[in-house]
Amino acid sequence: MAYANGYYCNLKETYLFTEIANRVNTYVAAHPEKKIIRLGIGDVTLPLAPVVIEVLHKAVDEMGVKETFRGYGPEQGYDFLRQAIANYYAQRGVDLSLDEIFVSDGAKSDCGNIGDIFADTNVMLIQDPVYPVYLDTNIMRGRKVIYMNATPENNFAPMPDKKVKADIIYLCSPSNPTGSVYTKEQLAKWVEYALENNAIILYDSAYEAFIDGEEIPHSIFSVPDAKKCAIEFNSFSKIAGFTGTRCGYVVVPKNLERQTENGKVMNLNSMWLRRQTTKFNGVPYIVQRAAEASLSKDGLQQCWENIAYYKENARIMMKGFDECGIKYYGGVHSPYLWIQCPGGMKSWDFFDELLAKANVVGTPGSGFGVNGEGFLRLTSFGSRENTIEAMERIVAVFKK
C-alpha cells in the first residue's frame, strides 16, 4: 500500500499564483473584450540584456562544436559563474570562497529544497505576511511553524523576541510581499538571536538589486558572524530578468555546522553538496554563461538600466496612489507596492473590484498570510505603457 503525504492536506488547495491565474482566466472568458493589465505575479517584462543575449548565442554555438560541447556539468555550478558571483559579493565587501556558492535553477526551489538538510522536528519561524513558498514547503514536511507579525507598526520588519524559541528563521529583505527592508543593525540582532539559540537564518535576498542607496545591506553576510548562522539565497530572476531563463544560487558558509538530534556534528555545506549532487544535475551550461555575462561590467550596467526602468514604474504607481489618497508601503527598495485596500475593503474584494472596474490584476495580501488581509500587492515589473495605463484607470476609479 502506497500512502500519500498527508501533510499536503494541510495546504491550501492551490498555490496562490495559480488561484489568481484561475480567477483571471474566468474573468477573461466572461469578458473577452477587456484589456487586462497583469500586475500580480512579480514577473519581469523587459527582454534580457544585450550582453546576455550575445553570450547566450555564443554558448549555443559552442554546444554545436565537438571541441567545445559540454555534457553534465558540476552539480554545484561551473567555476566561471561561481567566480563571477564571488566577485559580485566582493564589490559589496563580502568575501565568499567558490565552494560556498551553489548554482541552481532559482531561489524558489532552493528555499524549499534546503529543508532536506534539516530535521523535521525543527520549529520554523516565518513572517506573516510571507512569500508562500517558505510556509508551504515546510507544511509539506509536517514541520511546526510559528509566526511573527509583520505590520505597519513594525515597518513590516519584525525583530526577534527572546521569549520565542525557534530553530530555523526565514528572513526576506527587501521583503516579498511588503517591500520592507532590514537595516544592518536589525540584521545584527537577528544574527545575535540565531547564535544564542543555535538557530539558522535562511535569508532570501532575491530582491537585493532593488535596494536604493548605501545604507541597507544587500547580503546578511555583511553582518559579522552571520557565516556562523546563515544561509543565503539569491536569484538572477529579478536582477537580470531570468524568470524564464532560470538561474539562482545558495551561499552555504564553509564552516557552518549544526548537530543531528543524536548529537553528531554535521557540516551544512557538505550536506548541501551531498544533497545537490544526489538530486540535481546542474543548470545548463548556456544559462550559466548567460548568468555570468549578467554580472560582467557591461552586464551589470545593462541590468541596472532595466531595474531603473522598473523603479520608475514604481514611482509612477506611487504618484497615482498618492493622487487617490490610498496608503501604500514598499516601492522604494523593491518592485512591490503593498497597498492598503481603500475603505477597509478585504483583500479579495479589492482584487475583484480592481479587476472588474480597472481591469488590473493584483495579488491579494491575504494570500500571503493573515496579516496580509486588507492589503493588495502590485508589481512594478509591467511595461511602462501598461503601468501608466493601469494607474490612469485606477485613478479614474478610485480618486475621490
For 216, 225, 239, 292, 366, the CA distances from 92, given in Å and listed in that order, are: 11, 16, 15, 17, 35
Nearer of residues 114 and 268 to ligand MLT, judged by Cβ: 114
CA-to-CA distance for 272 and 293, rounded, in angstroms?
A: 26
CA 329 from centre of chain? 18
Residue 362 interacts with ligand MLT (CB under 6 A): yes or no: no
Least distance to ligand MLT, CB of residue 76, Å: 22
Least distance to ligand MLT, CB of residue 339, Å: 15
Least distance to ligand MLT, CB of residue 176, Å: 5
Residue 41 interacts with ligand MLT (CB under 6 A): yes or no: yes
Nearer of residues 235 and 276 to ligand MLT, judged by Cβ: 235
CA-to-CA distance for 331 and 121, rounded, in angstroms?
A: 37
Least distance to ligand MLT, CB of residue 44, Å: 9
Specify the 3-state DSSP secondary structure of 215. coil
Nearer of residues 59 and 231 to ligand MLT, judged by Cβ: 231
Do β-strands 200-204 and 168-172 pair in parallel, antiparallel, or remain unpaired?
parallel
Q: Write phi, then psi, for 169 (nearest 5 degrees).
A: -120, 130
DSSP assignment, residue 120? T
Residue nearest to ligand MLT (CB): 42
CA-to-CA distance for 316 and 43, rounded, in angstroms?
A: 18
> Which strands, in side-by-side order, build the sheet including 230-235?
101-104, 248-251, 230-235, 200-204, 168-172, 123-128, 144-149
Do β-strands 248-251 and 101-104 pair in parallel, antiparallel, or remain unpaired?
antiparallel
Residue 333 interacts with ligand MLT (CB under 6 A): yes or no: no
Nearer of residues 241 and 299 to ligand MLT, judged by Cβ: 241
- Using the rule CB under 6 A, which residue among 20, 38, 39, 42 binds ligand MLT? 42
Least distance to ligand MLT, CB of residue 224, Å: 30
Window 172-191: residues binding ligand MLT (CB under 6 A)? 176
How many residues contact ligand MLT, by CB under 6 A? 7
Residue 46 interacts with ligand MLT (CB under 6 A): yes or no: no
Nearer of residues 122 and 234 to ligand MLT, judged by Cβ: 234
Window 120-179: residues binding ligand MLT (CB under 6 A)? 131, 176
Nearer of residues 131 and 193 to ligand MLT, judged by Cβ: 131
- Using the rule CB under 6 A, which residue among 82, 108, 143, 246 binds ligand MLT? 108
Alpha carbon distance, N-terminus to C-terminus of the chain: 62
Residue 27: partners with Cβ closer than 8 Å, 6 or more residues away:
34, 36, 355, 356
Least distance to ligand MLT, CB of residue 69, Å: 32
Nearer of residues 108 and 218 to ligand MLT, judged by Cβ: 108
Nearer of residues 194 and 211 to ligand MLT, judged by Cβ: 211
8 Å CB contact between 362 and 349: no
Least distance to ligand MLT, CB of residue 211, Å: 17
**Helices 297-324 & 285-294, crossing angle to 10 degrees?**
70
Q: How many residues does the chain have?
A: 400
Least distance to ligand MLT, CB of residue 238, Å: 8
Least distance to ligand MLT, CB of residue 294, Å: 17
The residues binding ligand MLT (CB under 6 A) are 41-43, 108, 131, 176, 237
